[in-house]
Amino acid sequence: MSVTVKLPTILRKHAAGEARVGADGDTLRDVLGDLEARYPGITKNVLAEDGGLHRFINVYVNDEDVRYLGSLETEVKEGDTVSILPAVAGG
Amino acid sequence: MTERKPMFTEEQVQRYSRHIILPNVGGAGQRKLLDASVLVIGAGGLGSPVAMYLAAAGIGKLGIVDFDRVDVTNLQRQILHTTPDVGRSKVESAVEHLRAINPTIDIVGHDTLLFSTNVFDVMEPYDVVIDGTDNFPVRYLVNDATQFMGKPLVYGSIYQFEGQATVFLPGKEAPCYRCLFPAPPPPGTVPSCAEGGVFGVLPGVIGAIQATEAIKLITGEGETLVGRLLLYDALHMDFQEVKIRWDADCPVCGKEPTITELIDYEAFCGVPARPE
């Protein structure tokens, strides 16, 4: 399955400044794995050392937080949008 | 014969005429705004447009909190302050400019940092709280305090070209900031404060959205961002919405809260974490 990944500003430096990139996979775990293969280092601050998702970065498949789907095992469909959203504090 | 007090003075009828004739606000909505009180936390990038629009809209009592002084680097985005204000207290500058926008409302300056020791006292007199701060410790403090006090919180935050906004309503299994992000990130893991710059117009867009939501909360018209997080990317002019669900395991508003007292988190960005 081919999905679009929306990258927050802090991760764009890993992807030559791109805000949206393509990635393949059947689950979120596969998609993030493919993303890492294409852009080494990009998931370093998304995945915790134990392999799970960090709690200060949320990931959405379309408009749903993956914590309420299947976390990393969330299945993705062709054309889905995966959004990575870090907590930001600026004001 | 009993004498009925008019709903508005003649001056108010003129000043707010474009609201009074507007469907979904009208005289009743404008009266609610005049009877409302709103606290804007931060007189910076977000707080500037929020406070200016709310003052213009005739919020009866408008409070503004900040501890800082106006710096020349603020002027690129903090439109509440002007060049001659550089070096002044932000609250003093804010109050003066807001009074110029609308001298007929009550504008209250709170020249202080917020801590667990004073946040309840500062918030107590207000119906609605707006988060326009620039750091995680105060964002968590403000979230927790509004949850404990049962006050609506209009949230907005920005980074470089990207902004987020939503509304948190305490109670009724509605989400709070900790349902979205349960705890602040460890320092150094995500950028904060002045790191990396900020696109000057960005807080104007997000702040205007926060002011919009505050007015809708008060007038009760329309549909607010409760349960929805609005994401804005100025560089690509992209608006997106994602769901924020109430988390039954939320440490503050969940079924079995583990946080029942205010927390002063460690300092970020040189802002002291505790009263000195």
Distance between A34 CA and the closest CA of chain B, angstroms: 23
CB B129 within 8 A of CB B154: yes
3-state secondary structure of B131: strand
Model-level ipTM above the cut of 0.90: yes
> Is B243–A63 a contact, with Cβ atoms under 8 angstroms apart?
yes
Distance of CA B23 to the CA centre of its chain: 25
Taking CA atoms, what residue in A is nearest to B131? A91
Closest-CA residue to A7 (of A25, A32, A37, A30): A32
Residue A67 CA neighbour count, 13 Å, CB half: 22
* Structural domain contains residue A14: yes
- Contact across the interface for A88 and B133, Cβ inside 8 Å: no
- Taking only the tens place, the pLDDT of each residue in B19-73 is 999 999 999 999 999 999 999 999 999 999 999 999 999 999 999 999 999 999 9
- Give the CATH number for residue A12: 3.10.20.30
Contacts of A91 in chain B (CB under 8 A): 42, 44-47, 131-134, 156-158, 203
> Cβ of A87 and B235 within 8 Å?
no
Residue-by-residue pLDDT tens, chain B, 276 positions: 566 778 999 999 999 999 999 999 999 999 999 999 999 999 999 999 999 999 999 999 999 999 999 999 999 999 999 999 999 999 999 999 999 999 999 999 999 999 999 999 999 999 999 999 999 999 999 999 999 999 999 999 999 999 999 999 998 789 999 999 998 888 777 665 556 799 999 999 999 999 999 999 999 999 999 999 999 999 999 999 999 999 999 999 999 999 999 999 876 554 544 544
Q: B15-243: what fold? A: Rossmann fold (3.40.50)
CA angle B172, B178, B183 (to 5 degrees): 160
Assigned domain for A91 exists: no
Whether residue A28 lies inside any domain: the answer is yes
Cβ pair A61, A80 in contact under 8 A: yes
Note the Cα B191 to chain centre separation in Å. Answer: 21
pLDDT digits (tens, 9 = 90+) for B193-218: 556 799 999 999 999 999 999 999 99
Domain count, chain A: 1
* CA distance linking residue B197 with residue B203, whole number of Å: 12
Q: Which domain holds residue A60?
A: 2-86
SS3 B100: helix
Amino acid at B161: F
* Residue B136: per-residue pLDDT: 92
What pLDDT sits at residue B5? 74
Q: Rounded to whole angstroms, how far apart are CA atoms A51 and A55?
A: 12
